[in-house]
Structure 1
Amino acid sequence: MTPKVLVVASWNIQKNGRAPLDGRDHSPRPEEILAAYKPDIVFRQELSGAGAHGKRALYAEAHALGGLIAFMGAEHAGRSKNPVGVMANPRLFDIVAHTNDDLAWKQICHLEVRRKDCPRTLHLASAHLCHYDPHLRATEARRLTTYADHGHAVLIGMDATATPTAPTTRSPTPSTGTPSKTPSTSSTAPSSVTADASPTPFRARSSPAARSPSSPISPTTRPPFWASARH
């Protein structure tokens, strides 16, 4: 590799490789694979448990990847406990600033660095967009775009997978006028999505034009998408 080549990696394994039931490591550690590439910048997602005991796991990983300087977001009760992080090569970059943008579901880890032979700074951001709420995803995506304000140079690594859902429409019931969800009249869920998601394709059935409040709901109707949220 010449000095002009910048090696960048983004790494995500569910729950940081820890099985939710037994807490043991069941996946290859990032240093077992990434170390061979000698990365200069690493964007990390799902750093589950890496902040415990003074961030020992985070710093051990950064050291194994070539002595990188590591930063990560915080875990907050009642929100996602899978924070994101950024690592940078201190032999190439000086650290200018570090912030964690505190959004509703996950923080965005934002690092500003300056390459030692370049006067211009580079903004690095690691994100893991909300998988269950399109409105939160849109807010997170809009926040990421602001790093490029004022002509800033930006490099972003993230997990942007989402749980696919059938479109729904809201209509008032005849008796009370209370909004209720009915399946879309003509829509088919995507049959393929990004590699990290593996949904079962299905087709939403048309609802009768005048369904009464007491009419049974079709057994093919899927439950709300937040009922199976895991991330």
Structure 2
Amino acid sequence: MTTVADEIRVASWNVEHNGFDPDGSDERRHRAYEVMARLEPHIVLRQEETNAWHNHGRIRHQEAQRLGLTSCLSPMSPDSRTPAAVLYDPALFTLVEEITWSTGIGKPMTIPVVRMKETSQPLSLASVHLCPWSPQIRAIEASRLTVLGEPGKYALFGGDMNSYPHRTGAEKVALPNWSDPALTDAAHFQHRTVERDGKRVSDTVPDEILSGAGKPVFTELGHLAGTVRHQPGALDPTASLWRRDQGPRQRIDRLYCTPNLSGALISLEVVADNEVTAVSDHALLLARFDRAAMQRALTPVSETPEENRA
């Protein structure tokens, strides 16, 4: 059995408007830091970092200092004032390079490529917030993420996918029933559905692109934990924890990795307790990886000294 010291803990969380309320209060932001700090994460994937670039990045640095991590923040754009961030433990990971993707549509994304201590292969980390209003843009964004899964590469990413899992048989809740009169948000219907066979259905395209059963580029960790590992709660829905006009909660927040890292997964937990619900409309995802197994995965056998092979 692994201990906390043997683990790599990865948290992913969309903190609604970075914890800022319309009246300017940011009490929720500080509560979010406390929630995350108690988890002692080595990697944090954050979405909706509202105001994080203001005042020379003061809020960005506050978060990094509170968590004891290094922050890599995506740029803002005319269409998005809520950048995403990746935070990582500088005692465990060394930065190799930062790559910024900006296509002019959707949200720009900055991807830190790091090297884990005692490993040889670079690891790409990404905090993902797919376009909330366009299925077409989400499909493009998901397709671009497949670059991180090209042969020989290692990647770990996740966040708010604003779309649904494509393998619905194992899910705890059914996809939205769009004919339900309780779903009164008409814009949400347009944002979250695509046309198939002449009908409007829930958008599962990004998950199909990323982890489609035919030739999956990535492993979707919630599905792995909930089905193969039979872990209770791994497939719990994540959002919206607050709204009721968009139907039942859905599992729109997900974590993915290249298959060469999936064997190191210990567990995935959807945290939606009272503390989390008081802070954001999204649950927090916490994945635990076996540290030694991840180190082995990131150092192929051909590169391992002969005396260490066993």
Same fold at TM > 0.5: yes
| Cα distance per residue 1:65-102 (max 9 Å; x no partner) | 12x1101111122x011100101100001000112211
Shift, 1:141, TM fit: 0.5
Structure 1 partner of 2:18: 16
Flag the 1:7–1:16 CA change in 2: closer, same or farther, 3 A.
Answer: same
Flag the 1:198–1:127 CA change in 2: closer, same or farther, 3 A.
Answer: farther
Of 143, 164, 188, 2:189 maps to 164
Flag the 1:4–1:151 CA change in 2: closer, same or farther, 3 A.
Answer: farther
Q: Secondary structure at the match of 1:139?
A: helix
1:149-188 to structure 2, matched below 5 A, reads: 149-162=150-163, 163-165=188-190
Structure 1 runs of 4+ aligned residues shifted over 4 Å read 166-169, 184-190
Flag the 1:167–1:42 CA change in 2: closer, same or farther, 3 A.
Answer: closer
Q: How many residues align?
A: 182
Shift, 1:12, TM fit: 1.1
Measure the CA separation in 2 of the matches of 1:35 and 1:126.
Answer: 18
Look up the equivalent residue of 1:195 and give its one-letter code: A
Sequence identity (%): 31
Unaligned runs of 5+ in 2: 164-187, 204-236, 248-310
- Aligned-CA RMSD value: 2.6
Measure the CA separation in 2 of the matches of 1:152 and 1:102.
Answer: 21
- Does 2:135 align with 1:110? no
Of 183, 195, 198, 2:239 maps to 195
Q: Secondary structure at the match of 1:99?
A: strand
Higher relative contact order (CA 8 A, sep 6+): 2
Look up the equivalent residue of 1:101 and give its one-letter code: W
Decide whether the 8 Å contact of 2:72 with 2:110 is kept in 1: yes
Measure the CA separation in 1 of the matches of 2:34 and 2:47.
Answer: 17
Shift, 1:189, TM fit: 7.2
Shift, 1:131, TM fit: 1.2
Return the index of the structure with the highest Cα Rg. 1
Q: Secondary structure at the match of 2:123?
A: strand
| Cα distance per residue 1:147-195 (max 9 Å; x no partner) | 11132111002101253338698xxxxxxxxxxxxxx9876879xx862
Unaligned runs of 5+ in 1: 170-183, 202-231
TM-score in terms of structure 1 length: 0.70
